[in-house]
Amino acid sequence: MAYEVTLIPGDGIGPEITEAACRVIDASGVDIDWQKAEAGAEVMAHFGTPLPDHVLESIRRTRVALKGPITTPVGSGFRSVNVSLRKTLDLYVNLRPAVSMPGVKSRYEDIDLVIVRENTEDLYAGVEHTVGKDAAESIKIITRSASERVARFAFEYARREGRRKVTAVHKANILKLSDGLFLEAVGDVAKDYEDIEFEDRIVDNMCMQLVQKPELYDVMVLPNLYGDIVSDLCAGLVGGLGVAPGANIGDDMAVFEPVHGSAPKYAGKNQADPTATILSAVLMLKHLGEEEAAERVTAAVRKVVAAGERVTYDLGGSAGTSEMADAIIEEMGQGQPK
């Protein structure tokens, strides 16, 4: 069976690492028909937007996309393409696993955490305005419906993956209405999952506990802003954003992408670590129901990284992006890479 998948290479290091990921996935034996669609700063001049309609149309048709990082200007310029994709396509879950990997430098071992981040509202709704010349206001939007559906995803994920506990993370002690509503909604959903332990933590305490005793936690469900921050903290526990995969999932569509940025100063140098993009593609394989291929790719990545030889500089090696992909392909037993 062939799957049509929209491929958004992105900019900066995006084209190199997505090419590496596509080669690895192709070598896994899963038949993917990659439908390339360009987005980001480089298409602005031609289309007048970093997210042309044809990109959205492609994702709506294929229902699955693999995306490289896209540069977002700081303080000015166009709004984040990532945020626009999530809101436009109603990709209301940002799924970010953080799993320790032998060969990746970290002060921690045996980390196995999953962040389930609400992806469409909170301060990321972008409702803000200035008040005179010297003040600005941003509106934090939390709704029961959005909170309930991301919570249900978290519990369903925990049950499906054999996880033991879901922790709701919030600041309801201070933000009694908005975060209070989030906590109440997640608690209501938890009642339908008596087989899964449920608890809640205040976000600042959660950050401290993740550093001190991460083994106590499993799946965490958070509003948008806290999810963004805590997921980077969890990535730090396992060695950084270079090994942190991500997925944006809705009821009908999903976009898989690495967590890290576009690193434009490294563009075209064949130095960027493709691990996070390859592991994001693994999440895509699981989403497509290709569990066996996903496991083989994961095992090959872990073996190559643990060996520490044919890996990129950030992992202690001297291989380039494409050479690391070659090593992973060979580890899967596919012979010489195409």
Question: Residue 28 has which token pair?
Answer: 């896994």
CATH code 3.40.50.2300 region(s) in the chain = 119-237
Return d(Cα 299, Cα 38) in angstroms, integer: 31
Percentage of the chain lying above the pLDDT 70 cut: 96
pLDDT in tens, 136-193: 999 999 999 999 999 999 999 999 999 999 999 999 999 999 999 999 999 999 999 9
Query: Which residue spans within 217-294 are E strands per DSSP?
Result: 219-222, 245-249, 254-258
Question: Looking at the predicted structure, is the pLDDT value of residue 338 above 80?
Answer: no
Return d(Cα 152, Cα 219) in angstroms, integer: 12
User: Which are the catalytic amino acids?
Assistant: 124, 171, 204, 228
Mean of per-residue pLDDT scores for the chain? 94
pLDDT in tens, 86-109: 889 999 999 999 999 999 999 999
Question: Looking at the predicted structure, is the pLDDT value of residue 323 above 50?
Answer: yes
What is the average per-residue pLDDT within 34-48? Answer: 86
Report the pLDDT value the prediction gives residue 194, as an integer from 0 to 100. Answer: 96
Residue with tokens 């709004």: 79
Report the pLDDT value the prediction gives residue 73, as an integer from 0 to 100. Answer: 56
Nearest to 226 by CA among 135, 332, 147, 319: 147
CATH code 3.40.718.10 region(s) in the chain = 1-111+241-338
Fold of 119-237: Rossmann fold (3.40.50)
Q: For the domain with range 1-111+241-338, which CATH number is right: 3.40.718.10, 3.90.1150.10, 3.30.470.20, 3.40.50.300?
A: 3.40.718.10
Model pTM score: 0.92
Nearest to 24 by CA among 279, 286, 288, 306: 279
- 313 φ, ψ to 5°? -60, -35
Return d(Cα 241, Cα 280) in angstroms, integer: 12
Report the pLDDT value the prediction gives residue 336, as an integer from 0 to 100. Answer: 45
Question: Residue 122 has which token pair?
Answer: 């909170």
Residue with tokens 């270079």: 242
Question: Residue 111 has which token pair?
Answer: 């980390």
pLDDT in tens, 50-79: 889 999 999 999 999 999 998 865 444 556
Return d(Cα 36, Cα 22) in angstroms, integer: 11
Return d(Cα 108, Cα 106) in angstroms, integer: 5
pLDDT in tens, 254-283: 999 999 989 989 999 999 999 999 999 999
Would you say 266 and 275 are in contact if contact means Cβ atoms under 8 Å apart? no
